[in-house]
Amino acid sequence: MIITFLLCLSPFAMGQLGLDPEDDKDLIDLDLGIALRRVPRQVKALLNKEAKPHIQDLSVKTTIISRYAFTAVSCTMLNRHSAATKGVFQVLIPPTAYVSNFTMIIAGRVYPSEVKPKEKKVKQVKDGNGKSQKDKQGGQSASEMETFQVSVSVPGKNRAVFLLTYEELLQRRLGRYEHVTSLRPLQLVSRLSVDVTIVDGSEITHLEVLPLRNGKSSPGTGAKTQGRPTLPVTTTIKQNKTYCKITFNPNIVQQARIATNGILGDFVVRYDVERELGIGDVQVLNGHFVHYFAPKDLPVVPKNVVFVIDTSASMVGTKIRQTKEALFTILKDLRPNDRFNFISFSNRIKVWQVGQLVSVTPNNIRDAKKFIYMITPTGGTDINGAIQSGSSLLSNYLSSTGDHHNSVSLIIFLTDGRPTVGERKSPSILSNTKSAVQEQFCIFTIGIGNDVDYRLLERMSLENCGMMRRIREDSDASAMLKGFYDEIGTPLLSDIRVGYTEDSVQYVTQNLFTNYFNGSEIVIAGKLTNQSAETLHVQVTASNSDKSIVLETDVALQERERETQRQVEAANAGSVGDDYAERVWGFLSVNDGLKSRLRSHNSQEREEFTKQVTNLSLTYNLLTPLTTMVLETPDALLNETVPNASAATAEPPEDEGQDKPQSLHRNTQQPADGDPHFVVEFPLSKLTVCFNINGEPGQVLRLVSDHKHSGVTVNGKLIGAPAPANSRKQQRTYFSSIIVVVERPRRAYIEITPRKVILDGKDRLVLPCDTTVAVESDGLGVAIVGRSNVTVTVQGTIGFVVLVHQYKNPAPYQRDHLGFYISNSKGLSKDSHGLLGQFLYQEIGLTELPSNATVDQVPKNISDPLALSTIPISTPSRALKIKDRTVAVVKKTRKIYSGTQTVNCWFVKNNAAKLIDGQANPIHRGILQLCSAMAQIMLGKY
């Protein structure tokens, strides 16, 4: 999937347009919104001292569609100095998120990245090319953010633009979803903005924006805000029942009041939505479903819990003090029906109540506090012995009581180090643990600090139905321990199984769960095998405190898809939103695969899961532990990327072996052919058809016409050139300009030529095609990738890509020209017409012509020699059935997207005779000029 980034029209764009913003001088480019004389001197001094490039613009935009968050980061740096200077782009991202795209634009040149499989024992990218994320264990819920960092040399008096996107599925903890945006640019920023948009199918019942968080507390600690928190300065909230938009854009003075070093902290949004009773919320979109299950108002299941606490010498000081504080608080929260015990371990293992779990009584709580208070750190770390003791204690208790079916049993294991006493080999410790547990209970592990074998703790918890939590060295361990306990301290269900109609779904993500804890959420996704089915039967079976429960219902698929579609449209996230359900499935599938890989017991299993996760990561362009990101450096050649056409394409292909270039200076990357060749994909019939239109210079072809419904019209103007030597053609024609007229929501006129783009809308802009810049206003976007392509988007549902072909030293038969593609046709109506528009909703079929019609179908004056060589004279011809017409075709191969891709298609001769409605009647040049003038009048230009 290709993601298109839209940059605001900034001084970068203005400078490229020759508007002379003079933003290299002092603070003119800072856009403070106040008089410059009022800017504190210390702020000016800080900026003047900057030796590194100055961050002019930092924008972080997040769209959360039903708990799945898409975040796009755009950062523009200016090197004010004459000499090249090193610029560092650094973003902290949540540990459960995956980077999905990254692009650099240095001095106007685009340097894309590519996600590739990670080779075994791959080295981290060195400084200067980029530092990727450190490996994440699959599905971990670590508290610390992870760093994405790239260093690059920015030429003197020039700019660098960095574009990063990442995705994450927000996890519900303690009844809240939490989204964190890290704002640590390490310097004051001229223009800083954060936008968080939340769109959900259910009503948003709780919403709060926390004060900027820059202390030791970390996301997910469970700490609750007291009273109504103070909003960060400039924060605004617009909200209705299912939608809210939150913005934060402090100017440079307001940033300096928060922190002069540019470390503002975390911008945190917490929210929750209304829970549906029964089986929960099922959303359906484009052949995929996502099922959210978070029941409420259920009785609490009693728990049997053993706390196993590391008391080795390394725990001395703050760690043991904070651990004791958390345990004292946890003791107060134990419920009357719970049973508990404590084990402390170093090189010796001490059990508080030998051979039993005790009930929650005042005397037992008092004695437990004494045991905790008397703990003194000393000695080594016997992890294996501690786990064996805890498992034996809990297993014997469950065997002796026999009523454990009505309770949930777990071990909470905490350590700050690696095994130093007893069994030290991780495989043996894991094997011993699994043998001791025997699937009777779950193990939840907590690692504190930097000297922990997190892989061991992760596998220990994953293999025994638990979770692992990491606590940083400098974090508030007491609050995080208490928060983690709160997440798992209130079990509501156990042995949860979620099933769907047989033969209606496939590739369903994890659907068996050992426990469900209050305030959390179970999320399952899958593919629908029968998209025409009316209903999907969903059944949830589980156990609670005293009985087994069954929840089931039939989900109306078409109705749910319409509801989900409305929700996605409200998010206004473009093609990203359209893929929301599928990307949730891909995200969960990657996490499931990583967990399975971590649990694998032999190299063959591990290799199978490695291939599975790697393929998924490449399919969805995700930077995961099994992939690496290859960055193009400014010294490397630029590899262009072009969006995939979803409906219809048209551009002149490269030479097909008939005409060789005559000029030694010709740019071999540019195509040279005429009489526009069109390649059309019929979405409803899954067939690809191609044809030529032999036009005349000055003529205008109507490509798309949908002015009555979407208000969009696209025309293409032809220019002529002599044909190459020895060619059968008298002349060639090319598209010299593409004109897009948009009537809603605001009238706009866009004319694209190989050298410039004219945009007449609210304002008139002239954008050169040799720079990279984008503008967006009122749902209309124009994005230019210098000397490559122009993308026009309308309301996020209509997209056109115009390829720009320029020649430095053209041959006589070469002209600068354009190629036209429809990249998104969703917003075009079924009444669309034009050379390409008429095919969007048209159904066609492929059939055979009688054998006696074979030779007669070949025209004597065919203009394409290659077509003659490919017509099968000795076998029956093929034909297309369209409406009431039969159109003879032959199989051909076409090169599209500047020759970067090859497509097989059915070729229609004679200017697409019988294929198109009527003839390819051009619009007269005078009419085009009249239409242009009328558009100017309507826009108030005359």
Q: Read off the DSSP letter of residue 796.
A: T
Q: In 3D, which of 628, 730, 690, 940 has the Cα closest to residue 839?
A: 690
Count of Cβ atoms closer than 10 Å to residue 191 Cβ = 20
The per-residue pLDDT for range 132-165, each reduced to its tens digit, is 444 333 333 334 578 888 888 899 999 999 999 9
Q: For 101-126, how does the pLDDT look when each residue is reduced to its tens digit (9 = 90+)?
A: 999 888 888 888 888 998 765 444 33
d(CA 702, CA 655): 26
Q: Which residue has the tokens 């089931």?
A: 552
Query: How far is the C-alpha of 545 from the C-alpha of 253, rounded, in Å?
Result: 57
Half-sphere exposure of 536 (CA within 13 A, CB side): 31
Chain centroid offset of residue 285 CA: 17
480 token code pair: 């995080």
**What's the pLDDT at 49?**
56
Q: Which phi and psi angles does 735 have, rounded to 5°?
A: -80, 120
Place of tokens 């969006």: 643
Q: Is the peptide bond before 427 cis (omega within 30 degrees of 0)?
A: no
Give the number of other Cβ atoms within 10 Å of residue 608's Cβ: 14
Closest CA relative to residue 76, chosen from 19, 16, 146, 147: 16
**What letter would DSSP give residue 836?**
T
Find out whether 892 and 905 touch, Cβ atoms under 8 Å: yes
At residue 312's C-alpha, the angle toward residues 311 and 317, to 5°, is 75
3-state DSSP call for residue 44? helix
18, containing H or E segment: none
Would you state the structure tokens that stand for residue 170, as one six-digit string? Answer: 């927000």
Record the tokens describing residue 70, joined without a space.
């898409």
CB-CB neighbours of 824 under 10 Å: 22
Q: CA 867, 870, 871, 873 torsion: positive or negative? A: positive
What parts of the chain have a pLDDT lower than 50? 1-38, 122-143, 216-225, 635-673, 853-876, 924-942
- pLDDT at position 814 is 79
User: Measured between alpha carbons, how far is 305 from 485 in angstroms, rounded to an integer?
Assistant: 11
| pLDDT for position 419 | 93
* 239 phi/psi in degrees, rounded to 5: -150, 145
pTM, entire model: 0.64
pLDDT of residue 4: 31
Angle between helices 603-619 and 580-599 (to 10 degrees): 160
3-state class percentages of the chain: helix first, strand second, coil last, to nearest 5: 20, 35, 45
Q: What is the pLDDT of residue 651?
A: 37
The alpha carbon of residue 96 and the mean position of all alpha carbons in its chain are separated, in whole angstroms, by 12
8 Å CB contact between 392 and 400: no
DSSP codes, 646-688: SSEEE------SSS----TT--TTS----S-EEEEEETTTTEE
SS3 annotation, 111-134: EEEEEEECCCCCCCCCCCCCECCC
Residue 584 near residue 68 (C-beta atoms within 8 A): yes
Burial code (b: 16+ CB inside 10 Å, e: under 16) for 42-73 equals ebeebbeeeeebbbbbbbbbbbbbbbbbbbbb
Q: At what angle do helices 454-462 and 426-437 cross, to 10 degrees?
A: 20
What is the C-alpha to C-alpha distance for residues 551 and 537, in angstroms, rounded to an integer? 11
Q: For residues 782 and 928, what is the distance between their CA atoms, to the nearest angstrom?
A: 22
| Those residues with Cβ within 8 angstroms of residue 834's Cβ, 6 or more apart along the chain or in another chain | 702, 703, 704, 705, 713, 714
Calpha distance 213→266 (Å, rounded): 5
What span, in angstroms and rounded, lies between the C-alpha atoms of 849 and 854? Answer: 7
Number of C-beta neighbours around residue 427 at 10 A: 11
Give dist(CA 139, CA 512) in Å, integer.
Answer: 16
Q: How much is the pLDDT for 393?
A: 95
User: What pLDDT is recorded for position 680?
Assistant: 83
